[in-house]
Amino acid sequence: MSADQNAPLRDDVRLLGEELGSVLKAQAGEQLFDTVETIRQAAVESSDSKEVLVGRLRDLLDPLDDETLLEVARAFSQFLNLANIAEQRHRERLRRHHQRYPGDPDTDQSLRQVLAELKKSGVSQERVLSTLSDLSVELVLTAHPTEVTRRTLIRKYDQIADLLADMDRPDLTQEEASELRRHLSEQILSAWSTDEIRRERPTPVDEAKWGFATIEQSLWHAVPQGMREIEAELDLAGLESMPADWVPIRFASWMGGDRDGNPNVTAAVTREVLTLARWMAADLYLRDVENLLADLSMHRASDELLARTGPTHEPYRLLLRQVRDRLRTTRAQMEARVHSQPEPEGESYTSSAQLAEELRLIDRSLRAVGLSAIADGQLKDTLRRLNCFGITLLRLDIRQESTRHMAALDAVTRYLGLGSYADWDESQKQQFLLAELEGRRPLVDEAFYRSEFCDEEVREVLATCRVIAEQGSEGLGAYVISMAKTSSDVLAVMLLQKIAGVLEPMRVVPLFETLDDLNNAADTMGALLQIPLYKERVSSGQEVMIGYSDSAKDAGFLGAAWAQFRAQERLTASFREHGIPLTLFHGRGGSISRGGSPTRMALLSQPPGSVAGRIRVTEQGEMIRFKYGRPSVAAYNLEQYVAATLEATLMPPAEPRPEWRQEMEQLTQVSVAGYRDVVRDDPALVAYLRTVTPETELSRLALGSRPARRKPGGGVETLRAIPWVFAWTQIRLMLPAWLGTGAALESALASPSETDTLRAMSEQWPFFQGVVDMLEMVLAKADTRVASWYEERLTDDVELMRLGKALRERLAHTVDALQQLTGRESLLDNNPVMRWSIRVRDPYTDPLHLLQAELMARLRERDSDPVLESALMVTIAGIAAGMRNTG
């Protein structure tokens, strides 16, 4: 691209800022506009001069009354959301450039480049095609509460993005340009006039509907679009065509199935979400079939199709009308189930295979009579959607914490007079579980559910398993066990499904989350593979989930990253030895302390052999909107997953050298100790978190259906990983992403030989390259000035001020160590796009930080104040938008 590839982005940001300014003048008055501009200019001067002009900013903010503070917060927050729209639009613009110039060094690695490198490396076309045909990328949409923007506003922002795209057209007349700008002004006015704060906490069903909307509005279009682009790249590379319905990407969901620590997700909720998904799928396929009915008017057909329809002038339409009627019946039956009404009679679709059989019959007929071009049109898109989404739209995972399963089985054994399952050792538990899994007798009867042993929590666990039994396997994915520690945790879920009468059991996926559990993961799974019954059950494949959030909260970013790498290495080797395919399920989030990183970097930094053509990844919170909210951006990200998975499978990174492993062991020892020294051992940490950050205020924001804490009260250990990261991000200290790592780097860089080793690692080892790049990105977003503002306004406690000063010093030392390692004078010197993105936001985020600290102080002095609470919520949402990732 041109040397100034970001000029169009700057133009868009300037345009949106001007339009927002006009709206402010018209709606809030010249005085508010002047106030906002004065504050913005002061913030710009502070940022440009690198001086702390906080006194001037405070002098501007302190005299403002509560109502004005709210409007000022809204103005800065709105600009940051508009800047995000401009960046999203710019990504689409860069993607078009990427398609025209795939070798441009400013763009990501495309499928075209991967295929060219595979050819250059001597990988045969047969091997590429074989890998592609078996490739499996499953993206799991989750409702973790990091999406702070209301759906109502998301729709308006999408319309603004569409208008920016239209304004990019080179052939616009002056009249068309004026009309588009008028519409743009209308949409910005509409967004300004809409309450940006979600006033009611969403239910799990609301969250699921949000996921369905993402499919309806974006992914339903992105999947066939992305597949056509992938198909074109394969054709360009001279590879044979894949089957018409080939789609290596699937989607699953945790929305309505993730009950770990969320009492709002019940068996009834899961049943409703599964039914709503079936309703939405039938409705979407109906729209496709209506379009096919309009197009497939031709009369030439194969004998196979005519044998089905009989003699007719429009055989395709005749069959499609039958498909349409059956889809309508399916939709009506699902609607009746949702409303607990009698289901209408008629034949519905109960499996994807039934619908696929009829569509494939049409496809074969069109190709047989020389109408392949028509078969390759909308029909191919529908077949691909069916292969991707099925008739259930999403496969729903179930997630529950391991101790809940133990409690349920403990109730069963005590009811049967066998003693307390919870008190047995691991050997006793396994002996009981295996005997019952192989036995034929029912373990419980109806009397058990009425007994004193079956409390509400036990009843809910078993009710969930009964939902699994009644729903069948097509709409269900994995049963994920949070905080899995032992082999019996996995066997327990298998037995609970048997107790509930599940005929097609869900695959059971242990989630290893803490540092100790990751270190023991291979031993835990190895013990299971020694059990003949278990090994037979998983002979076709095993899935294991790697936890990023809780491991980082437990051990810090660097210690967790190395533990995750080693766990994957050991698991991969163990399952290879047993001849069982392994799929690793990565529980990633948006922030780096929760595993967030660009797709290619994330996959190529995994241990060699661990991807092996199969990958499962969570897509969480606001990242769903950023990556999949618009069809063209979604199609690009889907292609990136296919390209990166293919590359990681056929051109995996080399094994790390022994000296690199030794260095990582030393680094993580120092890192984990430094992290835990503060998080676990400093008595002031919890008080600092609750006083200086908005951790307690976050509970006021209706982000998601799940409580912020696993248990009421308690310290950091009870706080979920997302609000833990969110709170530190709000004050720009970003502590979970770097604490301990700086001390580890400092220690290593004190030795010339270790310095050489570190530099070799950062240049030649994708895993460590990823660590360094992501650390640099998050440190560029950190700001010790901002963190000190909160402290100055919110506490005069000597111990808290002592800790705050120490943390800021550690952060500064971490930056110095990273710059010494990379040899770059400034953070992100190698990434000017990201550096510019952060800099352009600072004049808008800085006032929001000061406002937030002031609002927190005012609110803590009062019992309640609706205006101040609204203003505080706006600052939280605005800062989240400015940071581009929250938790």
Q: Just list the catalytic residues.
A: 144, 553
Can you read off the two tokens belonging to residue 574?
A: 């163990």
Q: Give the DSSP per-residue string, 279-309.
A: HHHHHHHHHHHHHHHHH-------HHHHHHH
Q: Please report, for the chain, how many H helices and E strands are present, in that order.
A: 39, 8
Beta-carbon contacts of 298 under 8 Å, excluding residues fewer than 6 positions away, are 314, 316, 371, 374
Where do we find the tokens 């939405």? 280
User: Looking only at Cα atoms, what is the longest distance across the chain?
Assistant: 90
CA distance 279 to 269: 15
Strand partners, 511: 545
- Residue 709: closest CA among 261, 264, 263: 261
Q: How many CB atoms lie within 10 A of CB 850?
A: 23
Cα-flanking dihedrals φ and ψ of residue 425, to 5°? -80, 175
Cα-flanking dihedrals φ and ψ of residue 549, to 5°? -65, -55
Beta-carbon contacts of 244 under 8 Å, excluding residues fewer than 6 positions away, are 363, 375, 376, 380, 383, 384
CA distance 685 to 586: 30
Can you read off the two tokens belonging to residue 381?
A: 């898109």
Give 224-227's long-range contacts (Cβ < 8 A, gap of 24+): 224/380, 224/381, 224/384, 224/385, 225/631, 225/632, 225/635, 226/634, 226/635, 226/636, 226/638, 226/639, 227/384
Beta-carbon contacts of 150 under 8 Å, excluding residues fewer than 6 positions away, are 194, 195, 196, 197, 198
CA 394 to chain centre: 15
CA distance 92 to 307: 48
Where do we find the tokens 């496709």? 288
- Residue 6: closest CA among 831, 859, 874, 870: 831
CA distance 76 to 882: 10
Cα-flanking dihedrals φ and ψ of residue 508, to 5°? -100, 125
Whether residue 355 contacts residue 391, with contact meaning beta carbons closer than 8 Å, is answered with yes
Whether residue 749 contacts residue 588, with contact meaning beta carbons closer than 8 Å, is answered with no
- The rounded radius of gyration (Å) of the Cα atoms in the chain is 28
| φ/ψ bin of 445: left (φ > 0), alpha (ψ from -120 to 50), beta (otherwise) | beta
Beta-carbon contacts of 417 under 8 Å, excluding residues fewer than 6 positions away, are none
CA distance 552 to 569: 19
Query: Angle at Cα 671 formed by Cα 668 and Cα 675, nearest 5°?
Result: 140
Query: Angle at Cα 146 formed by Cα 143 and Cα 147, nearest 5°?
Result: 80
SS3 527: helix
SS3 547: strand
Distances (CA, A) of 851 to 73, 467, 711, 865, 887: 7, 48, 31, 16, 21
Check residue 709 and report its DSSP letter. B
CA distance 614 to 616: 7
Distances (CA, A) of 448 to 439, 452, 463: 19, 8, 13
CA distance 479 to 508: 5
| φ/ψ bin of 370: left (φ > 0), alpha (ψ from -120 to 50), beta (otherwise) | left
